[in-house]
Amino acid sequence: MRTWRRLHGSEVIAEVAPVSGFGTWRVSAWNIDDPTGPTHHNREFQLLTEALAAADRLASEILEHTCNDSHCGHWLARAG
């Protein structure tokens, strides 16, 4: 399984990570300058596409912006 990350602006990261053994996805986002750490979504998602959209919404709330291709990076996968 892979963990997915996307940069929002230059300061917020959205992440979708697999939940080991459950076949679901956990969503989080955080400001890289915030020492309190990530904000987690309170539910797990069965579909990756739903989890990616939820992570974008969570990051948008933190950064207070609307996602678009010129402001946000691409989703990148890394081995998890």
**pLDDT of res. 25:** 96
**pLDDT of res. 56:** 92
State the Cα–Cα distance between residues 78 and 80, nearest whole angstrom. Answer: 6
Return phi, psi of residue 47, to 5°. -100, 135
User: Band of the pLDDT at 33, cuts 50, 70, 90?
Assistant: confident
pLDDT over 70 (residue 80): no
**pLDDT of res. 11:** 85
pLDDT tens string 36-68: 888 888 889 999 999 999 999 999 888 777 777
* Domain residue extents for the chain: 2-69
**Per-residue tokens: 9:** 């602006």
The percentage of the chain sitting over the pLDDT mark of 70, rounded to a whole number, equals 99
Burial label for 73, CB within 10 Å (0-12, 13-18, 19+), is middle
* CA R_g for the chain: 12
The percentage of the chain sitting over the pLDDT mark of 90, rounded to a whole number, equals 46
**pLDDT of res. 5:** 95
